[in-house]
């Protein structure tokens, strides 16, 4: 799977997706502004339905939303992202209270609940939108992301697994996905998840 160039990418649109500003599980806002002191994080780890559920279950996470990031097409649709012609990744936007949960704890959830050695895929889900990615908003997040990647790479090497393919980039624009996708597994408990794990558990 190859990423499209900016010139090849679909044109998109000026209008953002319309979604309810209420988390289906906990009722908190999923769009800014958020309460004072909250921080945000952005992760891509395969199908965003299962990835989002893993984060909203963590104590200290205020809200979550799914969407698209790290591509070229403004305000893309799900079908456009799945075409491979937007460059976007399926991502989870996490709003968390740093007094209750650390960014390192979020990274632990990220690393241990998908296979970061796979390239442009997670299991049977194949495409550029399923790549592993951490999109950092400041130097502290970048430092912790890089450090934990080294820790997990060493552990994966001991298990004779491959090299981590995760991209660690400055946080790009985040585009909310369609309302249908938000907290999907809470609305559809028997729905498809598509995520596994890397088989490594580290004390962080």
Candidates 69, 132, 105; CA nearest to 202 is 105
- Decide: residue 15, CB within 10 A, 0-12 exposed, 13-18 middle, 19+ buried: exposed
Contact indicator for 38, 93 with CB cutoff of 8 Å: no
Tell me which of 47, 82, 193, 198 is the catalytic residue: 47
Place of tokens 């289906």: 24
Contact indicator for 44, 135 with CB cutoff of 8 Å: yes
- The question of whether 47 is a catalytic residue gets the answer yes
Rounded alpha-carbon distances, angstroms, from residue 21 to 18, 48, 101: 9, 18, 23
Question: Active-site positions?
Answer: 47
């Amino acid at each position: 799977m190859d990423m499209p160039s900016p010139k090849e990418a679909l044109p998109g649109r000026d209008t953002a997706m319309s979604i309810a500003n209420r988390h289906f599980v906990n009722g908190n806002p999923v769009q800014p502004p958020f309460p004072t002191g909250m921080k945000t994080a952005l992760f891509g780890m395969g199908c965003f339905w299962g990835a989002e559920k893993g984060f909203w279950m963590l104590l200290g996470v205020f809200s979550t939303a799914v969407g698209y990031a790290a591509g070229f097409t403004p305000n893309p649709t799900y079908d456009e992202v799945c075409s491979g012609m937007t460059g976007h990744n399926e991502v989870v936007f996490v709003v968390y209270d740093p007094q209750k949960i650390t960014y390192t704890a979020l990274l632990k959830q990220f690393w241990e609940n998908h296979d970061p050695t796979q390239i442009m895929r997670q299991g049977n889900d194949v495409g550029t939108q399923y790549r592993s990615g951490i999109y950092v908003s400041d130097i502290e997040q970048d430092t912790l992301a890089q450090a934990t990647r080294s820790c997990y790479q060493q552990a994966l090497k001991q298990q004779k697994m491959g090299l981590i393919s995760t991209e660690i980039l400055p946080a790009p624009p985040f585009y909310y996905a369609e309302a249908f996708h938000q907290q999907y597994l809470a609305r559809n408990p028997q729905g498809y998840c598509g995520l596994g794990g890397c088989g490594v558990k580290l004390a962080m």
